[in-house]
Amino acid sequence: MQADVEKLMAQLFTDRASRERFVADPASAAKEAGLSAEETEAVLRIDVRDLLTAARSYDNKRRSKRRSEFLLRDWWRAWRR
């Protein structure tokens, strides 16, 4: 089911422990996610370097967003004083 693949991919992009388990044993990670044989075969073709690059990119975006939220909040508090 495509939803299972999407859920696994989201987990790999956002959860370091899941990503490390996947890198160590992709077939087991796919099985744990409940993927079909066809979906598992597709997931096993994922280039791990690309996966890690994408995960770093998403992590940087999340950190950047949090920093901007803090800056905006601090600016707003200072302005209201």
Check whether 14 has a pLDDT greater than 80: yes
Summarize pLDDT for 18-75 with one digit per residue, the tens. Answer: 999 999 999 999 999 999 999 999 999 999 999 999 999 988 887 776 666 666 667 6
Number of domains in the chain: 1
User: What is the spatial distance between Cα 13 and Cα 5, in angstroms, rounded to a whole number?
Assistant: 12
pLDDT of residue 70: 64
Provide the residue range defining the domain that includes 21. 2-80
pLDDT of residue 77: 76
What's this model's pTM, rounded to 2 decimal places?
0.69
* CA 78 remoteness from chain centre: 35
- Concatenated DSSP letters for 27-55? HHHHHHTT--HHHHHHHHTS-HHHHHHHH
